């Protein structure tokens, strides 16, 4: 069965960097959809919905337009409907999410989610979450999917090592500590790291890597671990 990728943005929504990832994925004839706090982006426009001057402005707009709870609800609905998505026309194999998006996905796929889904689909879907800071509030949750979380080397509001250790007590969850800062794949973030972004671009554009979740997991670990 063909597979597809669901990308879930951070509070900045659609960015040039995300659109570039979409293009790379589509070049391998892999269907991809992009979920943002501001609605489904029409990818044919190939342009960001918003440009923000700084992270505080982005956060203010995010809280006013959406917020963490609503974003989790958006992700829950999108993931549930996308198991056999009429737009993607393929089963979702990877959910790749960033920051608030990664936290929203984690909250959306906690244990109650399992009860409403088929066991086969749950076993064949993989969640990859980059720097999900709000996840610190849900460390006792068990995700429905095999999950790989990539953390920055430090967070302002919590101890990354302690949170990662707690999260890895759950089934299906592994954590990576990276040498980068929060937002390292977002070109609108002050913490954007071009080298890290290039690493991820190489992985996401490699059809062989994407075809094998175990290989993708191992490549991410090798590329981003401290």
* Residue 126 burial (10 A CB sphere; 0-12, 13-18, 19+): buried
Q: H or E segment at 23?
A: helix 16-27
CA gap 91, 100 in Å, rounded? 24
CA distance 56 to 162: 26
The pLDDT tens digits for 153-211 are 999 999 999 999 999 988 889 999 999 999 999 999 999 999 999 999 999 999 999 99
Q: How far is CA 150 from the centre of its chain?
A: 10
Write down the pTM of the prediction.
0.91
Helices 68-81 and 100-108 pack at an angle, to 10 degrees, of: 60
For 219, the token pair is 């490549």
Residues of the chain with pLDDT under 50: 1, 42, 44-45, 85-86
Please give the class, per CATH, of domain 3-224.
Answer: alpha beta
């Amino acid at each position: 069965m063909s597979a597809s990728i669901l990308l879930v943005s951070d509070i900045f929504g659609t960015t040039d960097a995300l659109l570039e990832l979409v293009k790379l994925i589509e070049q391998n004839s892999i269907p991809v959809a992009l979920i943002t706090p501001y609605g489904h982006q029409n990818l044919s426009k190939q342009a960001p919905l918003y440009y923000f001057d700084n992270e505080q402005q982005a956060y203010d707009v995010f809280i006013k337009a959406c917020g963490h709870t609503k974003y989790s609800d958006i992700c829950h609905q999108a993931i549930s409907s996308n198991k056999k998505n009429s737009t993607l026309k393929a089963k979702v194999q990877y959910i790749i999410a960033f920051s608030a998006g990664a936290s929203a996905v984690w909250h959306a796929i906690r244990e109650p989610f399992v009860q409403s889904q088929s066991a086969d689909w749950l076993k064949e879907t993989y969640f990859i979450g980059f720097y999900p800071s709000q996840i610190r509030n849900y460390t006792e949750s068990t995700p429905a999917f095999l999950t790989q979380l990539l953390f920055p080397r430090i967070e302002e509001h919590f101890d990354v090592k302690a949170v990662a250790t707690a999260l890895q007590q759950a089934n299906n969850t592994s954590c990576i500590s990276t040498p980068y800062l929060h937002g390292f794949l977002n070109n609108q973030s002050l913490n954007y790291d071009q080298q890290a972004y290039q690493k991820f671009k190489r992985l996401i554009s490699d059809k062989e890597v994407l075809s094998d979740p175990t290989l993708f997991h191992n490549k991410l670990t090798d590329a981003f671990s401290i």
